[in-house]
Every structure is written in structure tokens, then in C-alpha cells.
């Protein structure tokens, strides 16, 4: 449904979030938890982007960052960037990438590079979500919403359902009291609840119903982009199917853009058009859903996919079982974060961290197994959703 022509709603560039670790005698800063490290992707209108990874890989933090519920350490996120701006950003990042290395070592940059950085800075100041003032941000919050994983702690236990759903409307002063009431009941109907339910407290509902209420609250302000943070992982399969269908229907009706965060790959496959795989805060692979599930490239993705149990007793497949645990993001292994568990590990992996390269159209991987980027323009025209990802691999604008 999401064509590549569809306008971009949210576009993230090298978003980073480091949480400081305090310790020692005077609890001074002794390190960083690299929760999110240079994550970049676009979400288009009416499109669902799946964000998958194991617990502690920073996918939830990434979702929070896009809504600016957490302040990022660096990087930018643009809300509905004009196409020409987006194109320009591509060029700039692609250009900067050529001397990222020197930039990382803090070496001196050629003047034209400085120019590029300053231009990036200006663009960020004009368009970036992360540079907005509080008032503008508050206005925008109506457009960007979130649905939480835990349906039990995400609704205030002391408020009536009607107040919970009406709260965003009140905050933004939408309509009169009566109009809000009407809106609330229509929202409830939309998510398949009975308008009578507005008179109840959250604790009187089952998990599925609470999740519906959460969705209704998110929809109240007619958002354009919703972060779905594991919306069904706390629910039973039958109820999960109900919720997923609601989400799909709403997307079809209102051309919503979803960022679908989940560790449940079969759900992601069912929901999303593009998938971003994260490991220890970094994007290891990004591809259209079909491409990723049919032909995963990164060993981690392969292991992940092969680990999914399939509800079919006869499909006994030989399975890649990863050894060991996910390392702590406080002290990630050097080089490729995955090399400690990788079945196809090479000497280089523990030294150099592989760049994100587009090895097949729209299919971006960070792995030393695939050293050569896909270039021959003869094969297919590069879709412009592919272009940025190639351009964005390892650039970092120090100005931001």
C-alpha cells in the first residue's frame, strides 16, 4: 500500500542516545550505555516500518526518541521534510560520509566539509523535530502518538475511561465539552468498544480492552504517525489478532504511518512493509519485509529468523542456535557488536565495525560478509528509499 512516492512522515538521521553510567566513590560518570547508536530510517505515509531486535537492543528507546519523549544525544529527525530537503540531506550525508573517518578522529576537516556541516545544521534548525521549541513541539505532539506495551500501567487507574481518552483533546483545547464527549464515544466505537464503557475505570477491563482504550487515546487527535511499542506482546493470540486487525483497518482508513516495534517476528511480518533489525543499539539490516524474510543476509537476522518457532510439527528445520547471551550495551564488544555470538565470525569482525552498505536494492546490511555495495545502476533504478540508506551509513554531523 505504501508506494515509494508516498510522502515521508518521519525521517531519522543518525539518531543517537547515550545514557551515562555513574559509579565510583563520588558517583562520577564512568561510561555510557549506547542505547541507540546512529539509527536512520524513513517512515512514509500509510506505511508500517517494523523495528525488531532482542530485549535491550534499544528499539524501544528509538521509538521514544522519535517522539522526543527522550532527548537525543545527537542526530536529527525530520517531520514531513519537503522532498527537495530530503534529497539535499541525502547528498550532504553521502558527501560527509566520504571523510567521516577523519571527522571521528576529530581530525581537521576541509573547509567544504565545514560548509556541508553548517548547511546540515541550518537544515536541522529549520526542519528538525529535535530543534523545535517547546510550544511548536506541543502543537506537533498531536500528530505523533504512541501505544504502549503494558496495557496495565499505561492507563491512569484513578481516571474514568472517558477522561483518559478526552485528555489529549482537553490539552489541545479541541472543541467544546459536548463535542469532546461525542468524539470519545465515536473513538470507542472505532476501536470496537461499547460507548457505555466510558463510564468505567481501567481496572474493570481485560488486557485486550485496555489496549483498545490505549489506541483510542492515541487516535484522539487524528495523528499521522503512531509508534506501536510492542502493542500485543502482553496479549493472548486471539486478542492479539483482534488488535492487529484494528490497527490495520485504521491504517487503511486514515493512511497512518506506523513504527511497529516488536520482538515477535511473525507479527512484524504480518504487519509491516519494511523491517529494521537492531542489535545492541545499531541497525544491522534494513530491507523490505519480503526481501528480509525470504533472503536474510546478516547472520544475526538469519539466526533470529531460524529461532522463531513455527506452529507446524512437521517442519523440522535445522536451527542456528546462537551461543551465549546478548552482551551488555554498557560495554559492547569492539568492532561488529555481534561477533561474540556470530556463527560466521572472521578475524576482522572483532576489529572493524562494518559499515551499512546497500548490497541489494533497498536491502542494507552491516556485515563483513558483504563488503561490496550494490552499485550497477543498470540492474534497477535505485529507489530513493534505497538511496538515503546507502548515503547515511556512517556519517555523523558533529554540529548536531
- Could you say which residues in the range 223-242 bind other proteins, by CB under 8 A? 236-242
Nearest distance in Å: CB 68, other proteins: 9
Which of the stretches 36-44, 83-91, 204-212, 379-387 binds other proteins when contact is defined by CB under 8 A?
Answer: 204-212
Among 28, 196, 372, 381, binds other proteins (CB under 8 A): 196
Q: Give how far Cα 54 sits from Cα of 63, 174, 297, Å.
A: 15, 39, 18
User: Looking at beta carbons only, is 194 or 375 nearer to other proteins?
Assistant: 194
Distance CA 34, CA 351 (A): 18
E strand segments, the chain: 8-23, 28-44, 48-52, 74-79, 144-147, 225-229, 257-262, 274-279, 282-288, 357-360, 363-365
Distance CA 263, CA 277 (A): 10
**320 contacts 338 by C-beta, under 8 angstroms:** no
Helix axes 177-190, 207-219, angle to 10 degrees: 130
User: Looking at beta carbons only, is 144 or 364 nearer to other proteins?
Assistant: 144
Nearest distance in Å: CB 9, other proteins: 16
| Dihedral sign of CA atoms 275, 279, 282, 285 in order | negative
Among 113, 160, 345, 399, binds other proteins (CB under 8 A): 160
B/e letters for 98-114, b = 16+ CB within 10 Å, e = fewer, are: ebbeebeeeeebeeebe
The residue written with cell numbers 482537553 in the block is 170
Which of the stretches 5-13, 43-51, 87-95, 162-170 binds other proteins when contact is defined by CB under 8 A?
Answer: 162-170
Among 100, 254, 266, 350, binds other proteins (CB under 8 A): 266
Nearest distance in Å: CB 117, other proteins: 32
Q: Please name the residue ranges forming H helices in 257-312.
A: 265-271, 289-294, 299-307
Among 2, 10, 146, 359, binds other proteins (CB under 8 A): 146
Among 248, 345, 355, 384, binds other proteins (CB under 8 A): 248
The site string for other proteins over 349-368 (x = CB under 8 A, - otherwise) reads --------------------
Q: Please name the residue ranges forming H helices in 42-160.
A: 59-66, 83-97, 100-104, 111-127, 134-141
Which of the stretches 11-19, 115-123, 317-325, 372-380 binds other proteins when contact is defined by CB under 8 A?
Answer: 317-325
Q: Within 10 Å of residue 310's Cβ, how many Cβ atoms?
A: 11
Of 77-96, which residues contact other proteins (CB under 8 A)? none
Longest dimension (CA), the chain: 68
107 counts as binding other proteins under rule CB under 8 A:
no
Among 156, 179, 334, 352, binds other proteins (CB under 8 A): 156
Q: Within 10 Å of residue 197's Cβ, how many Cβ atoms?
A: 17
Among 96, 297, 349, 366, binds other proteins (CB under 8 A): 297
Which set of grid coordinates corresponds to residue 335? 568492532
281 counts as binding other proteins under rule CB under 8 A:
no
Nearest distance in Å: CB 37, other proteins: 19
Which of the stretches 109-117, 123-131, 176-184, 194-202 binds other proteins when contact is defined by CB under 8 A?
Answer: 194-202
383 counts as binding other proteins under rule CB under 8 A:
no
Among 114, 126, 222, 249, binds other proteins (CB under 8 A): 249
Among 39, 244, 280, 393, binds other proteins (CB under 8 A): 244
User: Looking at beta carbons only, is 69 or 330 nearer to other proteins?
Assistant: 69
Helix (DSSP H) and strand (DSSP E) numbers for the chain: 13, 11
Which set of grid coordinates corresponds to residue 27? 558517583
Question: Judged by CB under 8 A, how many residues of this single chain contact other proteins?
Answer: 104
Among 21, 101, 171, 331, binds other proteins (CB under 8 A): 171
Which of the stretches 5-13, 73-81, 160-168, 372-380 binds other proteins when contact is defined by CB under 8 A?
Answer: 160-168
299 counts as binding other proteins under rule CB under 8 A:
yes
69 counts as binding other proteins under rule CB under 8 A:
yes
**286 contacts 226 by C-beta, under 8 angstroms:** no
Among 71, 105, 178, 321, binds other proteins (CB under 8 A): 321
CA 253 vs. chain centroid, Å, equals 22
Q: How many CA atoms lie within 13 A of 170 on its CB side?
A: 10
User: Looking at beta carbons only, is 116 or 226 nearer to other proteins?
Assistant: 226
Amino acid at each position: 500500500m505504501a508506494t515509494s512516492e508516498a510522502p515521508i512522515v518521519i525521517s531519522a538521521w543518525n539518531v543517537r542516545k547515550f545514557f551515562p553510567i555513574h559509579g565510583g566513590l563520588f558517583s562520577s560518570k564512568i561510561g555510557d550505555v549506547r542505547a541507540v547508536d546512529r539509527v536512520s530510517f524513513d517512515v512514509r505515509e500509510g506505511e508500517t516500518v517494523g523495528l525488531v531486535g532482542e530485549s535491550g537492543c534499544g528499539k524501544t528507546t528509538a521509538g521514544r526518541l522519535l517522539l522526543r519523549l527522550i532527548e537525543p544525544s545527537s542526530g536529527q529527525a525530520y517531520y514531513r521534510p519537503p522532498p527537495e530537503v530530503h534529497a539535499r540531506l541525502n547528498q550532504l550525508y553521502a558527501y560527509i560520509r566520504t571523510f567521516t573517518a577523519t571527522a571521528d578522529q576529530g581530525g581537521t576537516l576541509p573547509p567544504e566539509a565545514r560548509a556541508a556541516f553548517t548547511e546540515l545544521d541550518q537544515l536541522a534548525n529549520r526542519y528538525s523535530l529535535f530543534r523545535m521549541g517547546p510550544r511548536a513541539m506541543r502543537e506537533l505532539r498531536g500528530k505523533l502518538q504512541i501505544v504502549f506495551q503494558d496495557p496495565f500501567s499505561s492507563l491512569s487507574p484513578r481516571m474514568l475511561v472517558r477522561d483518559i481518552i478526552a485528555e489529549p483533546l482537553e490539552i489541545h483545547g479541541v472543541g467544546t465539552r459536548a463535542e469532546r464527549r461525542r468524539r470519545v464515544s465515536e473513538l470507542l466505537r472505532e476501536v470496537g468498544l461499547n460507548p457505555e464503557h466510558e463510564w468505567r475505570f481501567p481496572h474493570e477491563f481485560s488486557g485486550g480492552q485496555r489496549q483498545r482504550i490505549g489506541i483510542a487515546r492515541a487516535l484522539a487527535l487524528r495523528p499521522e504517525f503512531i509508534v506501536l511499542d510492542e502493542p500485543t506482546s502482553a496479549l493472548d493470540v486471539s486478542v492479539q489478532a483482534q488488535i492487529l486487525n484494528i490497527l490495520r483497518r485504521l491504517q487503511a482508513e486514515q493512511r497512518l504511518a506506523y513504527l511497529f516495534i516488536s520482538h515477535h517476528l511473525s507479527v512484524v511480518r504480518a504487519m509491516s512493509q519494511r523491517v529494521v533489525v537492531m542489535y545492541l543499539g545499531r541497525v544491522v539490516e534494513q530491507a523490505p519485509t519480503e526481501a528480509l524474510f525470504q533472503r536474510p543476509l546478516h547472520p544475526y537476522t538469519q539466526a533470529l529468523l531460524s529461532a522463531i518457532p513455527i506452529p507446524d510439527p512437521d517442519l523440522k528445520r535445522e536451527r542456528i542456535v546462537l551461543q551465549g547471551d546478548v552482551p551488555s550495551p554498557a560495554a559492547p564488544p569492539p568492532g561488529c557488536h555481534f561477533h561474540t555470538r556470530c556463527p560466521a565470525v572472521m578475524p576482522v569482525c572483532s576489529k572493524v565495525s562494518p559499515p551499512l552498505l546497500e548490497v541489494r536494492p533497498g536491502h542494507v546490511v552491516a556485515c563483513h560478509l558483504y563488503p561490496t555495495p550494490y552499485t550497477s545502476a543498470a540492474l534497477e533504478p535505485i529507489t530513493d528509499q534505497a538511496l538515503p540508506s546507502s548515503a547515511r551509513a556512517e556519517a555523523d554531523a558533529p554540529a548536531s
